[in-house]
Amino acid sequence: MLIEITGIIIVLMALRALIARDRSERMLYLNALSFGMSALIALYIQSPFGAIIAITSFVTSTISSNAIAYSMGRTPEEILIK
């Protein structure tokens, strides 16, 4: 029951991130998705090493989101080659 609720929330957040319009909106949906994946890993593997993997994946995805948001600030307009 708990894994089903978590799974539905994760897929909804992923779809909203795909069809979002603004870039900062996508980052917020991606962060909610990372929370959900961390919870899903912990609920599936109910042992201490599962908790360690959930914590590691969450902290590193936060670091990666931080780097993406910093680059969003550094390149306000992007030059594409046609």
Kindly state the smallest distance separating residue 19's Cβ from another protein, in Å.
Answer: 9
Give the interface size with another protein as a residue count (CB under 8 A).
76
Shortest reach from residue 61's CB to another protein, in Å: 6
| 82 counts as binding another protein under rule CB under 8 A | no
Report the alpha-carbon distance of residue 24 to residue 45 in Å, rounded. Answer: 32
Q: For residues 13 and 33, what is the distance between their CA atoms, to the nearest angstrom?
A: 6
**DSSP annotation of 13:** H
Q: Please give the residues from 41 up to 80 whose contact with another protein meets the rule CB under 8 A.
A: 41-75, 78-80
Q: How far apart are CA 33 and CA 80, in angstroms?
A: 29
Residues 8-47 that bind another protein (CB under 8 A): 8-18, 22-47
